[in-house]
Amino acid sequence: MRSRRRSALTLLEVLIVVVLIGLLVAFAWPNFGAAGRAGQLEESVRRFKAVVNLCRAEAMNQARRYRLSIRLDGTLRVSRQGDALQAPDEYYRVRANWAETPVLLDDVWIEGVLALPYGPPPIYIENEDIVFTEEEDGELEVPLIEDLDEEVAVDFEPDGTCDSIRWTLRDALGRGVQLTLDGRIGRIQVEPLPRIPEDEVERPEREPIDDEQDEEEEPEDFGR
């Protein structure tokens, strides 16, 4: 009588298979946590560009100035004029979803900010003429946000122009990008910065800003 073929694995074989699968997973399984952190910088840049474009579009659409403030605690605040003619210096916090959505993700922060009053080199516009300039001493150095004495604001005008500004972002993995907003045409240029070792990354220490002063309600007749 023929012997019956074995149809089941022994316990030892099962354990060997489990160990082999574990080793394969350990070496081949992607690090989803690291991948998620790595994607936060790109997503923050995308949101930064989106909020700039929306501020510019809303200023043109409502014929009143919009303001994007980069505050000393590293947060952003979007506000707009209450009345462009009677009270041009009064601003109210924008409560729209796009303005309230966080721009910077958890592992990303603003490292430095630099206002560019004449626009980013190599050109600026003076009396409707394009003037070519050169940066002194090479690249303009972007001051660290923790060294600033006051927040930096970007005002978006109804004609589509805005202040020019350069800011740098850094993430917990040591990667960085430099963004330059040319307010003359609303274009944002994104350039990578040299990566620093992860163990040398230092996130700026800052105290959250009290928002009580921003809680004043907008006038009822304010354009929505």
What CATH code is carried by the domain that includes residue 164? 3.55.40.10
Is 66 in a helix, a strand, or coil?
strand
- Cα(179)–Cα(119) distance, rounded to whole angstroms? 13
Q: Is residue 154 assigned to a domain? A: yes
- CA distances to 146, 154, 206 from 151, rounded to whole Å, are 10, 10, 13
- Domains held by the chain: number: 1
Q: Is residue 118 assigned to a domain? A: yes
The structure tokens listed for 156 are 């978006």
Q: Is residue 163 assigned to a domain? A: yes
Q: Is residue 66 assigned to a domain? A: yes
Q: Is residue 30 assigned to a domain? A: no
Specify the pTM: 0.73
Q: What is the pLDDT along the chain (224 residues), one digit of tens a residue?
A: 445 545 555 766 656 656 566 555 444 444 445 547 779 999 999 999 999 999 999 999 999 999 999 998 889 999 999 887 888 889 999 999 999 999 999 999 999 999 987 767 655 555 655 454 554 444 578 999 988 889 999 999 999 999 999 999 999 999 999 999 999 888 899 999 999 998 999 888 877 776 655 545 565 554 44
Instruction: Provide the pLDDT for residue 87.
Output: 82
Instruction: Provide the pLDDT for residue 152.
Output: 92
The structure tokens listed for 88 are 């041009």
- Cα(64)–Cα(70) distance, rounded to whole angstroms? 20
Instruction: Provide the pLDDT for residue 83.
Output: 83
Q: Is residue 134 assigned to a domain? A: yes
- Cα(68)–Cα(115) distance, rounded to whole angstroms? 13
Q: Residue 6, exposed/middle/buried by CB under 10 A (0-12, 13-18, 19+)?
A: exposed
Host domain of residue 173:
35-208
- CA distances to 31, 78, 95, 154, 193 from 224, rounded to whole Å, are 44, 14, 10, 21, 39
Per the CB < 8 A criterion, the answer to whether 198 and 189 are in contact is no
Q: Is residue 217 assigned to a domain? A: no
- Cα(57)–Cα(92) distance, rounded to whole angstroms? 17
Instruction: Provide the pLDDT for residue 132.
Output: 44
Q: Is residue 48 assigned to a domain? A: yes
Residue 138: which region, alpha, beta or left (left: phi > 0; alpha: psi -120 to 50)?
Answer: left
Contacts with 133 (C-beta within 8 Å, 6 or more apart), sequence order: 118, 121, 122, 123, 124
- Residue 59 phi, psi dihedral angles, 5° rounding: -60, -40
